[in-house]
Chains A and B, each alone.
Chain A
Amino acid sequence: MLAYSKIAFIIMGALAIFSCKREETYVYAVNTETVAEAGVKKPNVKTNTEFISITYTDIFGATIATSKLSEMQNGYLAFGDKGILEDLIIRDLLNQNAKQIPATIGSDIKTFVVDAYKKIYNRMPNEYEIFYLEDLLKKNSGISAEMFYYALMTSNEYRQF
């Protein structure tokens, strides 16, 4: 009888100990992910507001002021061939001292190309693009960083997202 009482006591004690186990704290975090789209898949055309705003940010690394955006939109709307105005916008911004694009291509051409694609196209270049453009820049030392950025920003892909 005593033995049964002992066993029951031990079981009760064990239950009490294990049922009072402290709850574990879980900490959730987000892994670092690249949000750029893989490959070229940009079916949507930027609105004129998006085009001006994104171009300004890409060149100056800062958000465009509302008043400046309004000024540029009015001018943009005031001419029919948008390609001409877009070209003028980009060249005008590139002509300003505050621009935030690399001054030179540097010795690591592959890194320059990859960085330019990530900044302007918001994606990684594929292997063929890297190969072709790295080769082109190696063989043409007269091409400046500014010219390279200008070419990308006046391409059709830059007009879409």
Chain B
Amino acid sequence: MERRAFIKKAGIATVGAFVLPYILPSGRLFAATGSRKVNHVVLVMFAGGLRNLETVKQNQSNLMSTMLKDITPFSAQSGITDVLPASPLGASRLMQCGTLMKEFRFKEGPTGHYNGHITALTGRYSMADINLRSNPEYPTIFEYYRKHNDGALNTSGLNAWWISDSLGPYPALNYSSYEGYGSTYGANYMQPSALISWDGYSNFGNPKNFSVDEMQAVQKIRAFCDANFANQYAAESVGVVNSPAERQMLNDFLHELFLGASSPGYNTWGFGNKMSNDLINLYYSEKIIQKFKPELTVLNMQDVDVCHTDFTKYCNGLRKADWGVSHLWNTIESTPGMAGDTVMIVVPEHGRNLAPNTVVDTYGRPAFDHNSDATSREIFCLIVGPAGVVYQDKVLTQEYGESIDVVPTIADLLGFRDRIPSGMLTGKVLNEAIK
């Protein structure tokens, strides 16, 4: 009898082991089948057009003194005198946490902001120069991730975020028009400074709230209406769609952000009224990271594009952006679930010309455009992360890596690169930085 009971229990346990899914601490139903190196990747598009001359070569002294070790320590110069809050990383520099590739390249296509972003997000160089508000032609990293991360399962959109610091063409970069991908696999998108603003609050921040019972009645009427219209509804045209439960979470999150922005404790970063658009974008990116702990987050900065007319403001913008990126890393490393399990990639979308244009700023400094000369293709790439995954305190001074390598590297880190159909990506994994 005991033997029979044992066999019965063992049988049930065995069947259960096969049938019942294993719910991971991250909330995912099954472990990814590829070999993941980390569970979170944050891509920072240090965009707006940065010349290596002012970044890694430090021609204006070290304007990125929280991220980079000094070649020439920062020194205040006429117009470049802002006193920033203390480095979020203390005495250490961000580059010590990973590998700095000083001679990265944006090799092909026009050195335009849109092309640069598309390349970093799709792993394909783009020749697009018209219809800038259209979705990319090839799948984005968000779509590769959501479609291929869990095999047949579509990974939750709350795990993939695109956060841009301006509107223009950028809202369209969260998914492509490529057949078989598209909005179903797109990222959740936010442009914080347009939404979490006074205008945003006055238009979206004070909604009528219905009770649970009232909402149930509303849903019953709506379901009836939708059932009568089901055959004509064009769901694909309305962008990324989250599940009802996820939408509730997003609604609550927006409510929190509106409340936070209107409370006295808002923004304790110490910049007062000198918060730039870049810093605002980083601030809300941190809120998203703390709230959802996404597996894939991409954000950008663009304030330095002022360099077309004002080189001094470009230098000041660069210093603030540098401070903000280090603050972001500090937050990642202080957030349970992200700390020690995140790789952050920092890369400009393109550089700027060697020769100036005709504009001179009030401090007598010439301005620079980006018209696809050789200097405008020279950028850097910094990858930081856990010592077991990223080579620490390593600097590559020879030419290595290009913009199309970012997507394969992210796919490799998150363990789904092998499931991307062959021929889709032409770049390589940055193995000089990733172990």
Contact = CB atoms under 8 A, between A and B. Distances in A.
Contacts of A138: none
Contacts of B233: 156-157, 159-160
Contacts of B234: 45, 160
B272 to A, nearest CB: 24
A133 B188 CA distance: 36
A134 interface: no
A85 interface: yes
Nearest to A156: B233
B205 A92 contact: yes
Interface string A18-50: 000000000000000000000011110100000
A151 B247 contact: no
B152 to A, nearest CB: 23
A112 interface: no
B191 to A, nearest CB: 4
Contacts of A132: 224
Nearest to B228: A40
Interface in B200-226: 200, 202-210, 213-214, 217-222, 224-226
A125 B68 CA distance: 67
With most chain B CB atoms within 10 A of its CB, the pick from A132, A151, A159 is A151
A42 to B, nearest CB: 6
Residues of B contacting A: mostly:
helix
Contacts of A74: 167, 194, 199
A60 interface: no
Interface string B145-170: 00000000000010000100001000
Nearest to B200: A75
A95 B203 CA distance: 11
A84 to B, nearest CB: 6
A78 B226 CA distance: 27
Contact of B194 (A78, A84, A151): A78
Nearest to A46: B237
Interface string B49-81: 000000000000000000000000000000000
Contacts of A92: 203-208
Contacts of B207: 87-88, 91-92, 94-95
Contacts of A140: 217
B240 interface: yes
Given A74-B194, A80-B174, A154-B222, A95 B199 contact: no
Nearest to A155: B225
B250 interface: yes
A78 B200 contact: yes
A72 interface: yes
A71 B205 CA distance: 13
Contact of B210 (A45, A133, A136, A150): A150
A57 B32 CA distance: 49
A131 to B, nearest CB: 11
Contact of B229 (A40, A75, A85, A87): A40
Interface string A38-74: 0011110100000000000000000000000001101
With most chain B CB atoms within 10 A of its CB, the pick from A79, A132, A143, A152 is A79
A142 B211 CA distance: 11
Contacts of A80: 162, 171, 174, 186-190, 239-240
A136 to B, nearest CB: 7
B128 interface: no
A107 B206 CA distance: 31
Given A78-B171, A79-B190, A42 B225 contact: no
7 contacts: A42-B229, A78-B191, A80-B174, A91-B207, A92-B206, A147-B214, A155-B222
Given A95-B207, A146-B208, A157-B233, 4 more contacts: A77-B191, A77-B194, A147-B218, A151-B225
